[in-house]
Amino acid sequence: MTRDWASRRKRYERDVPAVQLGNLASNLSRLAWFARQSADTDVALVFRESKYFTEWAAPHCSVEQQALLAELQRQLADWERQWGKHKPPSAIAQEAQQWSGRLLESSGLGKWERCQVTGSDGGGTR
């Protein structure tokens, strides 16, 4: 499957950084799912898209988030190299899910998600 990466980038960069990081977190959850299923179908595309998302989001993020994204770029490359080889899929799945949570926390969306689950925003108003 081919993608129009230039159009995809324009659309992605229209979002605010929190949404960009949320989309990347979603991709990491997809990687975790593929790993748990030991599925290779479309996983290369998700790796590629995730790498692009980290690159495209970085200029719009805080310095702390940029450092997180740089670390994630290295992690994505490691997972891709290890996919189906030396690292158990369950380990990749667990790590990808943890990274997804880190991105949600960094974006501020993790707090919002907890508020939705608990029904409280911590401030007494909605």
Residue 7 lies in a domain: no
Task: Reply yes or no on whether the pLDDT at 114 is more than 50.
Answer: no
- What is the pLDDT of the chain when averaged over all its residues? 85
Question: Is position 31 within any domain?
Answer: yes
Q: 118 lies in a domain?
A: no
- At 18, the pLDDT band (50, 70, 90 cuts) reads very high
Mean pLDDT for the stretch of residues 51-55: 96
Residue 49 is part of which domain span?
18-111
Residue 9 lies in a domain: no
Evaluate whether residue 46 is within a structural domain: yes
DSSP letter for each residue of 57-93:
HGGGS-HHHHHHHHHHHHHHHHHHHHTTTTS-HHHHH
pLDDT at 109 (0 to 100): 80
Residue 84 maps to a domain: yes
* 2 domain residue, yes or no: no
* pTM as predicted: 0.80
DSSP state of 15: S
Number of domains in the chain: 1
75 located within any domain: yes
